[in-house]
Amino acid sequence: MEKTTLAAGTTLLVSGPASLMLIDGEAEVLGAPIEKEEKLLVREEKQIPIEAVTDSIIQISLGDVASCTEIQGTTIPSSWKSLAEATLEMPNPKILTIGTTDSGKSTLCTFLANMLLEKHPRVYVIDADVGQSDIGPPATIGLGVTEEYVSSLAELDPFSMFFVGHTSPTPARDKVIYGIRRLMELASTNGDPLIMNTDGWISGEDACTFKARMINEVCPSLVAAIQTDKELNPIVETTKTPTVIVQSPTAAKKRDREERRRLRELSYRKHLTGAIFRSLDFNKLRLVGAEVRNGRLKAASQRLHSMIGFLNENDLLLGIGVLTGVGQKEGAMKVYTPFRGPARTIEFSSVRLDLSGRELPDAEDYCLHPV
């Protein structure tokens, strides 16, 4: 653990896992003031900018793969601040962010949520990035609500979730849009601000059609488009929704495919914490994405290790699990899950996991395990 002195107007870019504490001075993270002597945790998969408002002293402890870099000036683009000022003038803003992968969409959502708390008692956030969701596990859409400043969307506990079942929107376009609209209904009851994060699929005709359709059906009051070289023009030019073009932050963290997979696995493990084995009678369940015929679960061996979702009576997600075994004679399925409530509806996903949350290949042939 060491102490770092930051001059006013300087930013300390911290990549986790790390913990830090403001000892003296004034500093903020993404528009949120940091309280003195309050420990701030940075998760392994996250990077946050600590901006010194005045000369400040910060005590910091870095994990094995953590790092920190001092940068002159701010990492927050001026266009973000202008966007935040515009949203503060709106009575009930509903902001949808679009941009390519690693463009800073979730960071922008965090910044806007913090800024809107200056005027509103609470802010709702929908994370519809099914591949890299911060609110809820991958393959889901999460709705979070905050009444206090946050340094990352990952700090928000899910208020409600919708099960998509895919970590890419490509095979589930209708479902993604439907899920956003379902969660919007829950967030609109009090007229509070709503910020929506989306996936980074923007290239090609199919992607442009999908995003334009999403905008037209979700009907946000404003679209915040993070772009660097007119790559979003084919999308924004096909919709009549007001759009503000903003820049990507100078220090946006780029991740390769392997790192994104590793981050998904961290999230699976988080949402499987406290899991136990449960035996469920599949003949008494409503199954989505699977079929029971003549008292047998069809294609049971191919479904082994599938990530499943427990749904409530409104088809919203209560928790996830992993199918670990099927007993056809007993009509039982063995599930590894932290969800303890009554099971009525279970939906199967395209995601396969082992019990540690590691993703398994789709094409792997699994032997059927006894219940």
Torsion of CA 211, 216, 217, 219, to 10 degrees: 110
Over the chain (371 residues), what is each successive 10-residue block's mean pLDDT? 92 93 96 93 88 96 91 94 96 96 95 96 97 96 97 94 97 98 90 95 96 97 95 94 94 85 95 98 96 94 96 97 96 97 96 96 48 44
- Which residues partner with 98 through β-bridges? 225
Contacts of 256 (CB under 8 A, 6+ apart): none
Distance CA 276, CA 280 (A): 13
Contacts of 141 (CB under 8 A, 6+ apart): 126, 127, 128, 130, 133, 161, 162, 164, 176, 179, 180, 183
Distance CA 338, CA 320 (A): 8
pLDDT value at position 238?
92
Distance CA 330, CA 340 (A): 21
Burial code (b: 16+ CB inside 10 Å, e: under 16) for 48-64 equals: bbbbbeeebbbbbebee
Q: State the DSSP string of 196-230.
A: EEE-S--SSHHHHHHHHHHHHHH--SEEEEE-SSS
Domains of the chain (ranges; CATH) run 2-72 (2.60.120.1030), 78-246 (3.40.50.300), 272-352 (2.40.30.330)
Answer for the pair 27, 6: CB distance below 8 angstroms, yes or no: yes
In one-letter notation, the amino acid at residue 170 is T
In one-letter notation, the amino acid at residue 259 is E
Q: At what angle do helices 78-88 and 105-116 cross, to 10 degrees?
A: 40
Q: How far apart are the first and last CA of the chain?
A: 49
Contacts of 329 (CB under 8 A, 6+ apart): none
pLDDT value at position 43?
87
Query: Left (φ > 0), alpha (ψ -120 to 50) or beta: where does 299 sit?
Result: left
In the block, residue with structure tokens 């509806």: 345
- Which residues partner with 71 through β-bridges? 11
- Segment (H or E) for 295: none
pLDDT value at position 254?
82
**Helix ranges restricted to H, the chain:** 78-88, 105-116, 173-187, 205-218, 233-236, 257-271, 300-303
pLDDT value at position 370?
42
pTM confidence score = 0.94
Answer for the pair 143, 187: CB distance below 8 angstroms, yes or no: yes
Distance CA 129, CA 140 (A): 8
Distance CA 30, CA 153 (A): 11
Question: Can you give 81-138 as a three-state secondary structure string?
Answer: HHHHHHHHCCCCCEEEEEECCCCCHHHHHHHHHHHHCCCCCCEEEEEECCCCCCCCCC
- Which residues partner with 49 through β-bridges? 13
> Computed over its alpha carbons, how large is the radius of gyration of the chain?
22
> Measured on CA atoms in the order 297, 264, 310, 350, is the torsion positive or negative?
negative
Answer for the pair 67, 95: CB distance below 8 angstroms, yes or no: no
